[in-house]
């Protein structure tokens, strides 16, 4: 059977398996049930494709990692006993660590992580969370929440990294922590990815607009123009797809009165067709029931509208025989076309193949000791402290100082210095360059390495504690300083990128005016506007290392 051959391309395996499946087996794959219902017989007889733990649903009070593994494996045996042996995928809400599990590391909620302004920290938390989820035998996390909370009255606002879509986009990098870094080689856009047995399938949620409801009322209506939708709520999903997120959970909420669980325009036409998302969409808990008011009052309509809208897997979670019977009837009556069912199942199988679930359906016990381990607890402690990068410690193993303005007194002083237009170099007047000041300030045991224009590999290979990048404008005066675009002069962008993408960094900007730095800010850990500090670079070093506080406020926008 071709689908059982791991050497075959994923799409070949998907096509082969799909061609062998009956309607009952296909609809089973679309069904996610709660663990309390997931008996051996239920899994085998209904061909169930997925199981979850709802909030607080555990194998037993204070269950150990091994008890979780035993439960997941027992459920998996039912799935593997089916005719085609399609493994189920077990999912859990691991939204700030593996938060359902006793003795797991509990990380700060997203609202606190957003305040760190440290996407790399959040990526590390994603990797740690993935290990702890895998430690309990689970390969799928319903995380991250990439809502843009616009009203703090919303009860889920702490699940949002920020009210600013750009910050939420930055913090979506937790997906790469959970799933692993997707290979840079050319891959069709939107394909799911999971990078090994120590990673999990992630779930970007809740698509879309959950953080924008009127008055912050949960599951309510988000009233937005098209421009607002795509400026505020959609950008994090673009970043999620760039990282090849495996699944997307649909929101309980509505967009301009249209329930997202029934919104074909945004789920199928935009997410799947325009953005080319190839993973699977999943409903929220009893999410399709809430298409009607009161919930579940017309379940046939709810099943019909949600599946036609483009939902692939339905988090039922309890009344699965009713769901399966209704969906089967709708397909047999041709209300829902078979191509829609095939599309849903193809997506679910694709994720399962991509993550290696067919080769490794059972839990790997080797990760058990990662649950709540010291390393992860230290990381959680770091996330709570989240100290600012500045002031820098004086006693560090090795500091890199880089940039055209680090050891150039002329640049540091600017125009109208000795010469009308100013000049370059250290021979025109007396003073202390920023580099000399840093050397005079740090502990004698600290090694200071200066490289004006280091390349990325040099920085990466040298294991620096911090990089200090000093760049800016060259001296000018009067008309010669006129500038119509205010861009950061070359080679500053290259230096910033080479240093800040390879190590923790502080950028000191030496300039006579505000400059356009937005394209580079994301790579920085701290930014200092030094303006034109004059001959005494020691003042800059004093602020960098905490001998004097930063007390200035910008005089210009």
CB contact at 8 A, 346 and 56: no
> In the 3-class helix/strand/coil scheme, how is 205-257 assigned residue by residue?
EEECCHHHCHHHCCCCEECCCHHHHHHHHCHHHHHHHHCCCCEEEECCCEECC
Candidates 447, 347, 434; CA nearest to 394 is: 447
Is the preceding omega at residue 208 within 30 degrees of 0, hence cis?
yes
Dihedral pair phi/psi, residue 487, rounded to 5°? -75, 160
Q: How many whole angstroms separate alpha carbon 38 and alpha carbon 32?
A: 10
Q: How many whole angstroms separate alpha carbon 222 and alpha carbon 249?
A: 17
Residue 457 CB contacts under 8 Å (≥ 6 apart), including other chains: none
Identify the active-site residue in 132, 159, 284, 312.
284
The question of whether 478 is a catalytic residue gets the answer: yes
Residue 471: its H or E element: strand 466-472
Angle at 553 between CA 552 and CA 557, to 5 degrees: 140
Residue 514 CB contacts under 8 Å (≥ 6 apart), including other chains: 486, 556, 557
Q: How many whole angstroms separate alpha carbon 5 and alpha carbon 9?
A: 9
Identify the active-site residue in 5, 231, 419, 478.
478
Q: How many Cβ atoms sit within 10 Å of the Cβ of residue 163?
A: 17
CB contact at 8 A, 528 and 470: no
Q: Catalogue the active-site residues.
A: 284, 478
């Amino acid at each position: 059977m071709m689908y059982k051959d791991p050497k075959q391309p994923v799409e070949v395996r998907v096509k082969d398996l799909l061609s062998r499946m009956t309607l009952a087996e296909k609809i089973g794959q679309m069904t996610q049930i709660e663990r309390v219902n997931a008996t051996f017989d239920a899994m085998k007889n209904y061909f169930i494709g997925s199981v979850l733990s709802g909030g607080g649903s555990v194998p037993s009070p204070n269950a150990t990692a091994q008890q979780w593994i035993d439960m997941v494996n027992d459920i998996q045996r039912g799935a593997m006993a089916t005719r085609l042996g399609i493994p189920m995928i077990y999912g859990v809400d691991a939204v700030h660590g593996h938060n359902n599990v006793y003795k797991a590391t509990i990380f700060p909620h997203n609202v606190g992580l957003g305040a760190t302004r440290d996407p790399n920290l959040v990526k590390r938390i994603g990797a740690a969370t993935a290990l702890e989820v895998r430690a309990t035998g689970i390969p799928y996390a319903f995380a991250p929440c990439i809502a843009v909370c616009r009203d703090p009255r919303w009860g889920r606002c702490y699940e949002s990294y920020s009210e600013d879509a750009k910050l939420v986009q930055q913090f979506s990098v937790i997906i790469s922590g959970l799933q692993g870094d997707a290979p840079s080689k050319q891959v069709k856009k939107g394909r799911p990815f999971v990078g090994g047995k120590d990673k999990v399938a992630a779930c970007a949620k809740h698509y879309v607009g959950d953080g924008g409801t009127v008055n912050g009322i949960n599951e309510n209506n988000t009233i937005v123009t098209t421009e607002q939708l795509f400026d505020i709520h959609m950008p994090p999903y673009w970043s999620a797809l760039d990282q090849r997120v495996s699944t997307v959970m649909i929101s309980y909420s509505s967009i301009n009165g249209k329930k997202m669980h029934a919104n074909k325009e945004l789920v199928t036409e935009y997410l799947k067709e325009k953005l080319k998302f190839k993973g699977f969409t999943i409903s929220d808990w009893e999410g399709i029931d809430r298409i009607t008011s009161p919930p579940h009052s017309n379940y046939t309509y709810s099943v019909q509208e949600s599946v036609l809208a483009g939902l692939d897997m339905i988090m039922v979670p309890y009344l699965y025989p009713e769901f399966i019977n209704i969906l089967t009837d709708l397909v047999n009556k041709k209300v829902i076309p078979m191509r829609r069912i095939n599309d849903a199942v193809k997506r679910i199988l694709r994720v399962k193949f991509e993550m290696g679930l067919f080769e490794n359906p059972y839990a790997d016990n080797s990760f058990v000791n990662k649950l709540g381990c010291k390393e992860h607890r230290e990381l959680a402690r770091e996330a709570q402290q989240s100290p600012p990068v500045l002031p820098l410690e004086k006693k560090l193993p090795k500091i890199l100082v880089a940039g055209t303005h680090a050891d150039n007194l002329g640049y540091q002083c600017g125009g109208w210095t000795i010469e009308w237009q100013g000049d370059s170099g250290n021979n025109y007047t007396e003073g202390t360059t920023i580099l000399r000041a840093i050397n005079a300030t740090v502990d004698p045991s600290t090694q200071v390495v200066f490289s004006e224009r280091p390349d990325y590999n040099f920085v990466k290979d040298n294991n620096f504690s911090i990089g200090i990048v000093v760049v800016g404008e060259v001296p000018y005066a009067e008309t010669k300083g006129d500038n119509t675009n205010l861009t950061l002069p070359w080679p500053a962008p290259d230096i910033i990128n080479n240093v800040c993408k390879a190590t923790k960094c502080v950028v000191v900007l030496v300039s006579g005016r505000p400059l356009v730095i937005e394209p580079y800010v994301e790579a920085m850990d701290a930014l200092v506007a030094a303006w034109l500090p004059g001959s005494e670079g020691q003042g800059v070093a004093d602020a960098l290392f905490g001998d004097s506080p930063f007390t200035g406020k910008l005089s210009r926008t």
